[in-house]
């Protein structure tokens, strides 16, 4: 099945999903368990469009050669994780200029006050005080364009991303109120397991590939020994009792390890707590480390095979970009016509 079949034959039957990850660093275990693993489960039920969000990365200065390299590595990792380019559209964001074009139009329908309230702008401004650029400020508008271009029904997100879905919905509803039914109003699709994997060293914070402490996150490209070592050195607490109390920050470390174990094994947290009742943190950490390594092992093997096949990867992203552009262009032309641009 080719992408054209997916996007025309299935469009009337399946709801559409759009999502993406920035190729701004090594993909973490949190990215995999909180996003990519769930995308794999969605691809048979929905019409899925997944992108390498390279345009978003340049709000922070990048080394060009490294960005190109990481973008292709991310594509290979998507496929290695089980995202099938025969079922989904996989493309590189910057290869579809409609994202930037719609982003500008939507800038003109988004209020400064809305953007000033965005948590991510505040957080990134604090971390990159020497480069608080306009792109960082309008980042949520480009994200809205990413979603709205494809008449997206659902966006798989963690709880921390819901603010972006809300502003996207606000922009779309504002535009529709002025010009009619132009955009599908998307909904956030919250995943139930592994939605928010936390830092191994500061477990009240989300695991992040930009964390300055390499012990705080697990990269999908880490060697297996490093993965095990990081998990075994994860912060827990002095209580020494394996209990799952997600509302209790004093148990954030063990809660996080239980969440990771649940995500890689498919077990419920309650099952894991019961299984390890009366056992110490040392045994549990060792078993979590082993379970994570075994979950990552086949992905790494497939990744190592795919990343060597440059022609295959080029075919995937070129075909994906062509199909994505066809879908996006229909939306963009409708928007241009509504705002008064000459389009013929």
Q: Would residue 333 show up in a list of annotated catalytic residues for this protein?
A: no
| CA geometry: angle 67, 313, 304, nearest 5 deg | 80
Which one of 37, 87, 209, 267 is the catalytic residue? 209
Number of H helices, E strands in the chain: 15, 5
Q: Would residue 338 show up in a list of annotated catalytic residues for this protein?
A: no
Asked whether the beta carbons of 156 and 38 are under 8 A apart, the reply is: yes
Identify which of 45, 51, 129 has the alpha carbon closest to the alpha carbon of residue 85.
Answer: 51
Distances (CA, A) of 166 to 39, 142, 173, 222, 331: 21, 14, 11, 35, 20
Neighbours of 3 (CB within 10 A): 22
Q: Would residue 206 show up in a list of annotated catalytic residues for this protein?
A: yes
Lookup: tokens for 143: 């994200």
What's the distance, CA 336 to chain centroid? 29
Total residue count of the chain as it appears in this document: 344
DSSP state of 215: G
Asked whether the beta carbons of 1 and 86 are under 8 A apart, the reply is: yes
Identify which of 264, 255, 254 has the alpha carbon closest to the alpha carbon of residue 227.
Answer: 264
Q: Order across the sheet with 89-92: list the strands.
A: 89-92, 47-52, 16-21, 154-157, 187-190
Torsion of CA 167, 171, 172, 174, to 10 degrees: 130
Asked whether the beta carbons of 281 and 240 are under 8 A apart, the reply is: yes
What is the radius of gyration, based on Cα positions, of the chain? Answer: 21
DSSP state of 204: T
Torsion of CA 82, 196, 143, 118, to 10 degrees: -170
Beta bridge partners of 51: 20, 91
Which one of 14, 15, 69, 124 is the catalytic residue? 124
The catalytic site residues sit at: 124, 206, 209
């Amino acid at each position: 099945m080719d992408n054209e079949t997916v996007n025309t034959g299935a469009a009337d039957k399946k709801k559409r999903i759009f999502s993406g990850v920035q190729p701004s660093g090594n993909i973490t275990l949190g990215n995999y368990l909180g996003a990519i693993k769930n995308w794999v489960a969605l691809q048979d039920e929905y019409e899925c469009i997944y992108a390498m969000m390279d345009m978003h990365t340049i709000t922070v200065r990048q080394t060009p050669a490294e960005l190109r390299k990481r973008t292709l590595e991310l594509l290979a990792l998507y496929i290695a994780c089980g995202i099938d380019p025969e079922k989904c559209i996989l493309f590189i964001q910057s290869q579809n200029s409609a994202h930037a074009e719609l982003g500008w139009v939507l800038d003109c329908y988004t209020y400064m006050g809305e953007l000033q309230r965005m948590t991510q702008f505040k957080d990134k401004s604090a971390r990159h005080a020497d480069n608080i650029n306009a792109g960082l400020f309008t980042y949520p508008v480009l994200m809205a364009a990413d979603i709205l271009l494809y008449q997206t029904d659902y966006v798989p997100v963690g709880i921390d991303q819901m603010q972006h879905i809300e502003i996207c919905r606000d922009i779309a509803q504002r535009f529709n109120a002025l010009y009619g039914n132009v955009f599908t109003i998307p909904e956030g699709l919250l995943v139930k397991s592994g939605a928010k994997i936390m830092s191994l060293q500061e477990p009240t914070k989300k695991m992040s590939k930009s964390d300055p402490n390499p012990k705080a996150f697990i990269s999908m490209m880490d060697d297996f020994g490093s993965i095990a070592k990081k998990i075994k050195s994860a912060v827990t607490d002095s209580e020494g009792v394996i209990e799952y109390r997600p509302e209790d920050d004093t148990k954030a470390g063990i809660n996080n390890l239980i969440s990771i174990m649940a995500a890689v094994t498919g077990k419920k947290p309650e099952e894991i707590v019961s299984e390890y009742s009366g056992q110490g943190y040392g045994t549990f950490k060792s078993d979590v480390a082993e379970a994570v390594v075994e979950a990552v092992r086949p992905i790494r093997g497939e990744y190592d095979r795919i990343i060597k096949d440059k022609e295959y990867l080029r075919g995937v992203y070129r075909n994906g970009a062509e199909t994505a552009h066809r879908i996006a262009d229909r939306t963009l032309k409708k928007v241009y016509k509504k705002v008064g641009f000459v389009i013929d």
